[in-house]
Amino acid sequence: MLNTYPFEKTAKSGASFDDCIENIDIGGVAMLRSAAKNHKYVATLTSPNQYNNFIDEMKKNEGSISLDTRKQLASDAFKLSSDYESSISKWMSAEVKPKPKTMGQQINLDIKQDKDELLAWDKMDNLIPAIV
């Protein structure tokens, strides 16, 4: 069983940027993913809601958990990890100030002469004929 830092709760509370950053779990999520990846050998519990079924299956099977159950638990763990990362990404995107938009394609000012033909580089680093 693994619990991650309460990032979503912290971010939704209106906490400062630094507090939100401090509540981004790194090691816990890595351990969660590692356990899920190794579901052939371990069961990964991510919620107290899974406890009863887990215990019942262990009692029924003399202390073991089926591969199908371990696969389902791994799937749940990867979903939790994905949702956790997505919430961080959405929060961080909202914290980043948008860059001003420009209209049309911009051409760099450094026009170069090449074999009697004027050429320039556009913002996508494509070589284009210069307009003079």
**Residue 100's pLDDT is what?**
63
> How many structural domains compose the chain?
2
Q: Where residue 42 falls among pLDDT bands split at 50, 70, 90?
A: very high
* Residue 63 and residue 116 in one domain: no
* Residue 112 and residue 78 in one domain: no
Task: Tell me if 1 is assigned to some domain.
Answer: no
The answer to whether residue 37 scores a pLDDT higher than 70 is: yes
Residue 95 near residue 17 (C-beta atoms within 8 A): yes
* Residue 74 and residue 53 in one domain: yes
Residue-by-residue DSSP string for 39-97:
TTT------GGGHHHHHHHHHHTTT---HHHHHHHHHHHHHHHHHHHHHHHHHHHHHSP
Range of the domain at 115: 102-132
Q: Is the pTM of this model over 0.85?
A: no
Q: Where residue 117 falls among pLDDT bands split at 50, 70, 90?
A: low
Q: Where residue 49 falls among pLDDT bands split at 50, 70, 90?
A: very high
* Residue 60 and residue 12 in one domain: yes
* Residue 30 and residue 52 in one domain: yes
